[in-house]
Amino acid sequence: MNGKAVMVLGTTSGAGKSWLATALCRWYARQGLKVAPFKAQNMSNNARVVPGLNGLMGEIGSAQYFQALAANRIPEVRMNPVLLKPEADTQSQVVVLGEVDPALCNVPWRERSALLKPRARAALHELLRENEVVVIEGAGSPAEINLAPSDYVNLGTARDSRAACLLVTDIDRGGAFAHLYGTHQLMPEDVRAQVKGFVLNRFRGDAGLLSPGPELLERMTGVPTIATLPMWRGHGLPEEDGVFDDASTGHAGSGLRIAVVAYPRISNLDEFQPLRQLSGVRLSWAREPRDLQGADWIILPGSKSTAADLAWLRAQKLDLAINAHRGRVLGICGGLQMLGEALIDTHGVDGNAPGLGLLPLVTAFEPEKLLRSTEFSFASSLDGGWQALAGVKASGYEIRHGRTQPHAGLPPPQVALRNAAGEAVGWQSGQVLGVYAHGLFEQPAVLKALFGQSGRSLDAVFDGLADFIDLHFQAGRLAGLID
């Protein structure tokens, strides 16, 4: 191994591991070092299409995708060798090095971990040989003593990489010192020795009031608290564990309200992050009909289980509210499929269901998942409120099992969007638009056409994160982690 490893562990899910790892990627890259991110196993329905093995395209968790960009690297599948995409409470699609492995989907957890560990370990060692620094993100907590023997994601990765570990906690939730102390004490002794610093995240108020807590904690554990990070909601990076704890975001009293339907298996919600930062736009999350009242736009986002989420939508009576809506309706990927007349599944991939009937389309699910990054072009003329997109070109990605065609027995909808291969991947009927393209709101040309503004660039977001930790970590600590 040539490279040094810095690992971000958390006392809980949502403690701040993902954004801190992203900040570290940019900070070390700005020191002139060759940096790569790594997370042995991610559980998320937020995924991106990246270069895979043997010239194919694969998928990784969005967090590692953004971390790679922060490190000025091209994202690739070794950076997140195992991705679990939840389809139900007790079932996940297993993606290994970018490709779905159907055989592993039904293997019990502990047996599956034993099979996945060698694949993840090999990817880690390759990245360590090829880079000067590998920034590793842990998963959940390293103190899950019931899972410790099979935990290759936190404990196994820390050992294999000999990483200098940071343990971060969300102090805004309360009990931060207990979380840090308890997590540290429950970790195996050898990995515990690798913890080089505690990080208090999302602190509000006067940091001086924390004393003598950090000093007492260091006396009990031997680990210093090396950073107290103030609460910062506007950093601009999508939240790895979702944004739906916020009732709404945007500017109070703003003129345009966009409601995103938050069904249980929502996917790729990170692509809406740019809307959260636009002036004059208010983004809200809808789980029941009253959440759609007063909305100018309704967005049906992607879904990991389209038929099941469509059934949930009907159970909530959101279908009636969507059909009665007179403003713009946008469906993306799974949302597009829901807007059609029917979902047809002869292979047991997703499920059969009648659609909402707002677009004359039929979707059939195929066993093979389609993955591609591509350029998109909107039609030269579009109707209604979507006419501002006419002729706009943008890049994005497709990630789907569905194949959609116009309904043979109905007048065809207008083709609104084509990919680089010339295939129709978007259709429009009046105020309703459905597209297979993910990532459109991350494109300045699309934001400019729809909202008259482009938002912050990703580079500006990454530099802001690096500046933030540079300001709030004790001097020399970040460099010291790789000495």
Catalytic positions are 333, 438
- Burial of 411 (C-beta count, 10 Å sphere; 0-12/13-18/19+): exposed
CB contact at 8 A, 134 and 36: yes
* Location of structure tokens 């983004």: 283
Which 3 state secondary structure label does DSSP give 394?
A: strand
Closest C-alpha to 272, from 237, 296, 307? 237
454 Cβ contact partners less than 8 Å away, ≥ 6 residues apart: 444, 447, 448
Q: What is the Cα–Cα distance from 394 to 396, expressed in whole angstroms?
A: 7
Using only C-alpha atoms, the chain has a radius of gyration, in whole angstroms, of 23
Neighbours of 269 (CB within 10 A): 21
Closest C-alpha to 418, from 394, 442, 448, 443? 394
What 219-222 contacts at long range (C-beta under 8 Å, 24+ apart), as own/partner pairs, is 220/181, 221/180, 221/181, 221/184, 221/185
The DSSP call for residue 355 is -
The DSSP call for residue 238 is P
Q: What is the Cα–Cα distance from 139 to 64, expressed in whole angstroms?
A: 12
CB contact at 8 A, 280 and 451: yes
Q: Which pair of structure tokens corresponds to residue 201?
A: 């995240």
CA distances from 191 to 157, 176, 467 (A): 10, 20, 29
What 316-319 contacts at long range (C-beta under 8 Å, 24+ apart), as own/partner pairs, is 316/287, 316/288, 316/289, 317/288, 317/289, 318/261, 318/286, 318/288, 318/289, 318/292, 319/356
Angle, helices 213-221/176-186, rounded to nearest 10 degrees = 10
Q: Are strands 361-378 and 342-344 parallel, antiparallel or unpaired?
A: parallel
CB contact at 8 A, 284 and 291: yes
Which 3 state secondary structure label does DSSP give 476?
A: coil
What 384-388 contacts at long range (C-beta under 8 Å, 24+ apart), as own/partner pairs, is 384/328, 384/428, 384/430, 384/431, 385/327, 385/328, 385/431, 386/328, 386/416, 386/428, 386/431, 386/433, 388/449, 388/450
